Amino acid sequence: MTLTDWTISETLARLRSREISAVELTQAYLDRISAVEPKVNAFLTVTGEQALQQAKAADSLRAQGEDRPLLGVPLGIKDVLCTEGVSTTAGSKILKGFVPPFTATSVQRLFGAGAVMLGKMNTDEFAMGSSTENSGYHVTHNPWDLKRIPGGSSGGSAAAVAARMVAGALGTDTGGSVRQPAAMCGIVGIKPSYGRVSRYGLIAFASSLDQVGAMARSVEDAALILEVMAGHDPLDSTSMNVPVPNYRAGMRSDLKGVRVGVPKEYFIEGIEAEVEASVRAAIEHLKALGAEIREVSLPHTAYGIPIYYLIAPAEASANLARFEGVRYGARIEGADMWESYKTTRGRGFGPEVKRRIMLGTYALSAGYYDAYYLKAQKGRTLIRQDFEKAFAEVDVIATPTTPRAAFLIGEKVDDPLQMYLEDVFTITVNLAGICGISLPCGKDVNQMPIGLQLLGPAFGEEKILHAAHAYEQSTDWHKRAPSL
């Protein structure tokens, strides 16, 4: 076992015992990146020099007797989160060369806890996608099979964690973009409740849906990252001022007294046979750990895709209006202001971003607002109420994370509808504002990872983390690694 094979918890134990230094650890990760990154393409920017400086500072603090939750731990940051002095592109050519003058609150809290930033991770452009094929720069490959996608939009973060190029990473989740790539890369990914983690410094896609999440190789590691970055932030008006529990303290190895709901609407026609079999086996495993299994109903689940693809593009069309080549980012000169504006956006945005801007603008246009956007918001309320009723009866809901495991690069890139359907089990969580976690529970016929999704009520992260930890510690799926 090499230094980069350790979980964050194992790494911290060795750092605290002075078995290794943060500089040695960081250099080991940089060496791993040099060896593996050409195959995987998970990074947009590698910040090697800065990482070694942060590692040296971490060693100095530890020598002075100071300890912090993530002191000396090397992490990756999805490139939709602003980092002062480091390029932040959101995976888009329209932001090529943009260097923010400030750091996102979630990232700043990691730095305050002593984390080392190894670099910025590849993403679908403006986090719009399910495969990381929509990046304006390059396609990321799944470490388990380099011919397959890693999921999206946090595909770079997920692939880097799975490939042992980072100890953990931040992703963002608007409709499943943390949980779906976590499932496809065989790692853990948690999407916190809306308002649990500050969105300040996150380049917005859909402001009422976006949430910063944690990705790691174990549930305990994901919980630690979440503990550090969660909490109220006065710079974000949607940030909730509610206490952040010690998530790890609430983890137990049994599930006695825990009620687990299984929604019939999530086992649908078209789901891959191995996915259904693995998830149902995982639910039986939860039962063996002491959980009480109950069937629940989420009747408006089928409307999730059309509701999401009206609300999210509508918000995107408003948010992306700011990228006009005047204030920051790329600028292509034209004969006048309007020509410059149109040319910059026309060449700077990729096809998927343009598609969503047009969908959203149409849904918000005069004469269509009530018929589409307003009706979608009413449907969103019904979805939230479905979950509220279900959580009155159960503590946690168990579902597949995705309908199938990772598919081949290029297989669905020309069929947007099929690509959108990859998020059928994840988007309702964002619409309802609740929390969800994905963790590995099996393999399909191609030996690609399969994810179990556990959902909890708003600000019920401790419930899903407890259930996920109990399952994880009694299986070995999380210990398996791709061979690169």
Q: What is the pLDDT along the chain (484 residues), one digit of tens a residue?
A: 799 999 999 999 999 999 999 999 999 999 999 999 999 999 999 999 999 999 999 999 999 999 999 999 999 999 999 999 999 999 999 999 999 999 999 999 999 999 999 999 999 999 999 999 999 999 999 999 999 999 999 999 999 999 999 999 999 999 999 999 999 999 999 999 999 999 999 999 999 999 999 999 999 999 999 999 999 999 999 999 999 999 999 899 999 999 999 999 999 888 999 999 999 999 999 999 999 999 999 999 999 999 999 999 999 999 999 998 888 888 888 888 888 888 889 998 999 999 999 999 999 998 889 899 999 999 999 999 999 999 999 999 999 999 999 999 999 988 888 888 889 999 999 999 999 999 999 999 999 999 999 999 999 999 999 999 999 999 999 999 999 8
134 vs 350: CA distance, rounded Å: 7
Task: Write the secondary structure of 100-128 as one string of H (helix), E (strand) and C (coil).
Answer: CCCCCHHHHHHHHCCCEEEEEECCCHHHC
Burial class (CB in 10 A: 0-12, 13-18, 19+), 230: buried
311 vs 350: CA distance, rounded Å: 20
Residue whose structure tokens are 């399969």: 450
93 vs 343: CA distance, rounded Å: 13
In the set 131, 153, 157, 239, the catalytic residue is 153
In the set 177, 198, 218, 239, the catalytic residue is 177
* Strands (DSSP E) found in 160-269: 168-172, 188-191, 212-216, 259-263
Hey, what amino acid is at 357? I
3 state SS of 75:
strand
Model pLDDT, residue 203: 98
Residue whose structure tokens are 């932001």: 95
3 state SS of 469:
helix
In the set 78, 120, 191, 412, the catalytic residue is 78
Burial class (CB in 10 A: 0-12, 13-18, 19+), 134: buried
| Beta-sheet strand order (sheet of 168-172) | 43-46, 116-121, 74-78, 168-172, 212-216, 188-191, 435-443, 449-456, 396-400, 259-263, 292-296
User: Would you call 135 a catalytic residue per the annotation?
Assistant: no
Model pLDDT, residue 72: 98
User: Would you call 78 a catalytic residue per the annotation?
Assistant: yes
Q: What is the pairing mode between strands 435-443 and 188-191?
A: antiparallel
Structural tokens at position 27: 């250099």
Burial track 462-482 (b if 16+ CB lie within 10 A, e otherwise): bbbbbbbbbbbbebebbeeeb
The architecture in CATH of the region 3-261+392-479 reads Alpha-Beta Complex (3.90)
User: Would you call 191 a catalytic residue per the annotation?
Assistant: no
Domain ranges of the chain: 3-261+392-479, 302-378
